[in-house]
Amino acid sequence: MDFDNLAHLPLDQQQLVRTVTNRLHSEYAGTFGPETIQRFVVDSLQLLLPTAKVTSFLPVLVEKFARDQLRALGKLDGSLPSAVPSVLFLCVHNAGRSQMAAGWLRHLAGDRATVYSGGSEPASEINPAAVNAMAEVGIDITEEFPKPWTDQIVQAADVVITMGCGDACPLYPGKRYEDWELDDPAGQDLGAVRLI
User: Could you give the CA distance from residue 2 to residue 177 in angstroms, rounded to a whole number?
Assistant: 40
Residue of 20, 129, 165, 193 with catalytic role: 165
Contact between 104 and 124 under an 8 Å Cβ cutoff? The reply is: no
Residue 62 is among the residues annotated as catalytic for this protein:
no
Residue of 48, 88, 91, 163 with catalytic role: 91
Distances (CA, A) of 170 to 60, 84, 165: 27, 22, 9
Residue 182 is among the residues annotated as catalytic for this protein:
no
Contact between 41 and 15 under an 8 Å Cβ cutoff? The reply is: no
Residue 101 is among the residues annotated as catalytic for this protein:
no
Contact between 84 and 159 under an 8 Å Cβ cutoff? The reply is: no
| Nearby residues of 68 by Cβ (< 8 Å), 6 or more positions away | 116, 153
Residue of 6, 95, 101, 169 with catalytic role: 169
Catalytic residues, which ones?
A: 91, 165, 169
